[in-house]
Structure 1
Amino acid sequence: MKNKLKATVFIPVFNGENNHLKETLVALYKQKTDFPWDVIITDSESQDSSLSIIKEFLSKYDNLRLIKIKKSEFSHGRTRQMVAEISEAQYIVYLTQDAIPINSNWLSEMISPFSLNEKIVAVLGKQKPRDNCFPAMKYDINLVFEEQGVPDAITLWTRDNKEFFGKYTKESFYSDVCSAAPRDFLLNNIGYRTVDYSEDYEYGKDILDAGYIKAYNSRAVVEHSNDVKLSDYKKRIFDENYNIRLNSGNTTKISFLNVIINTIKFSFKDSIKILKDTDYTLRKKIYWSFINPLFHFEKWRGIRLANSIDLNSNISKYSLEKREK
């Protein structure tokens, strides 16, 4: 067999110096596998020391390739599909610059589910929130992955109910923070859509609608949660929900009264969890009891804006993604 590479790990980079890039690469190069793998990184005109960090690893490892692209050329969907086209590996493993594998078996665990069934064409890894993650995000992340499957096991997901075809559901949930797919399938069957954002949601939906299987491996774990400030949280949530609306064509109107009601409801639920959370000191519990509701308020304001703004509007002032670009 000419192609002996089992996996390509792809990391898109933009201003990763203070966004855990070096930590991610250090953890990545601690992986222990019984198969050969390589790494492809794209850098989209970073203005910090990202290139210096990447070059440090280039000088140490011969399985790393750097591709420089213009910011204007980057697209979450198109760039990931491009890497599948230029890779020579059997599987493409997608990782973000701020997703840190927590042990040396992460890469092997990302690949292992594919051997279970030939219809498995998507593997989702588990995300563990960082220690400094604010409660609203921490509990959201934990809930999402608790729903995906049981600890220390592989859970398979299919789409059986045609009523949910074309919709985002628990079954189709997918995140390119930590995911994997067969290269041949991406090239010849279903690839990533050329969308600017939420490409992972689209891929998860598309493969289940077509009768394929998603595997969730709770043993493939990365440490990840967005280091986002309160002042930016509304924009982060806006990006997620606006692009889901843009890609799906579905709009869910939310009134300001709903914003208030949901803020109160979910803040109250979190307050109970905060009081029981052994990760927090008493001082932190008091602090988050007052500050966490502000994050919920910004979250629901972002969702409301994403579902009310005209889709033909210039969204630059509302979007964190656009500002970072």
Structure 2
Amino acid sequence: MASNAQKYDITVFIPTYFGEDYLDDLLKMVFKQQIDKTYEVLIYDTSSTDKTPKIIKKYAKKHANLRYKTITKEEYGHGKTRAAAAHDAKGDIVVYLSQDATPAHKYWLYEMTKPFELSDRIIGVMGKQDPRPTTFPLLKREIMGVFNGFGPDFGTTLFYKDSFIKKQETYDKVAFYSDVNSAARRSYLTGELPYQDVPYAEDQLFGRDVINAGYMKAYASRGNVLHSNEFKLREYKMRMFDETMGLRRVGIDVPLPTISQITKMVIIGWIRDTLFTLRDKQYSRKRKLFYLVLNVFYNIEKWRGVRRAVLTKLDDHTAIDKYSLEHVEAKSKS
């Protein structure tokens, strides 16, 4: 444990909950970072009963700049936990990292924090996410498409609000933010622009708050991590339900897709995923055959989840608990 008087340039915050799958590799890479600034690692574990606490303690014994504490499920919230970590942090910059987002190289932390030196107006930085090699085609293709759209891999891109933004679609892209791999100035997180206490989509709200306040956010393509999830078909539908409900809960409108629209999007998605599968060199022959069969069903389940979420009333907690992957997983781990 670090001394209470110790100050750092950077705090890397990692919230954990049954994170044994990737946490060891993640922490190994975090402590390999090459940077001429001081940093600490702060972990809040939500009462995990798998190997997560053991992994955390192993690294805490090796590294004096790792602090951790255990919180209850009742204490945890996507927004409020990140806000609490900002107040607890001893660094001027707080870097947020999900428990399954593994830094891709030893200069990740340098790249994530370098943009703050460019301008005092830059409040938040979003890093690139690269899908893991075996991720199913629909998700793998979407992750690559989303982040490739924010800028080239060889530089940093800045986003801000001005008269150029005339359409909601443009604003949504400019304000887009993900705290799977992100960084922000602690002074703003604990002051003018705190994370809001919302159950989901806290990062999207933060991105909008930054842009609406007249500040800038940066996209650090070279601060990349490996991050993606393996979902079973039923799980993917429920995940899309969670994501869509999360957006609706914070006031972001999601239009109801009609059956004909869904049919069209499923067919287009299936064709794209089939071509993507055949061309992808990271898939083994066996995995390619597996995905060629399941691609169409992943596309169907995606839009079933979105449509169900749009049709569900925001105060229908019985339905939300039934269709929410996050709720089902939390219940199974309790």
After TM superposition, is the score higher than 0.5?
Answer: yes
C-alpha separation between the residues in 1 aligned to 2:328 and 2:13?
24
TM-aligned CA distance change 1:47 to 1:257, over 3 Å: farther
C-alpha separation between the residues in 2 aligned to 1:41 and 1:284?
35
Match of 1:53 in 2: 55
TM-aligned CA distance change 1:107 to 1:83, over 3 Å: same
Displacement after TM superposition at 1:103 (Å): 0.9
Match of 1:12 in 2: 15
Aligned AA (1:178): N
Choose from 76, 94, 97 the match for 2:96.
94
Match of 1:77 in 2: 79
Compute the RMSD of aligned alpha carbons.
1.8
Match of 2:125 in 1: 123
CA contact (8 A) 1:165 1:209 kept: no
1:260 counterpart = 2:263: yes
- Aligned pairs, how many? 323
Match of 2:32 in 1: 30
The 5 Å alignment of 1:209-220 reads 209-220=212-223
1:271-311: CA deviations, max 9, x gaps? Answer: 22222222234443333222111111111111101111011
Displacement after TM superposition at 1:215 (Å): 0.5
C-alpha separation between the residues in 1 aligned to 2:250 and 2:169?
11
CA contact (8 A) 2:244 2:254 kept: no
Match of 1:64 in 2: 66
C-alpha separation between the residues in 2 aligned to 1:75 and 1:166?
29
CA contact (8 A) 1:168 1:201 kept: no
Gapped regions of structure 1 (runs ≥ 5) = none
CA contact (8 A) 1:130 1:225 kept: yes
1:316 counterpart = 2:321: yes
- Displaced runs of 4+ in structure 1, greater than 6 A? 165-168
Q: Compute the TM-score of the two structures, normalised by the length of structure 2.
A: 0.92
Aligned AA (1:295): Y
Aligned AA (1:214): K
Match of 2:205 in 1: 202
- Three-state SS of the structure 2 residue aligned to 1:171 is helix
CA contact (8 A) 1:166 1:205 kept: no
Structure 1, 155-164 or 35-44: larger mean CA deviation: 155-164
Displacement after TM superposition at 1:33 (Å): 1.3
Q: Compute the TM-score of the two structures, normalised by the length of structure 1.
A: 0.95
- Three-state SS of the structure 2 residue aligned to 1:216 is strand
Gapped regions of structure 2 (runs ≥ 5) = none
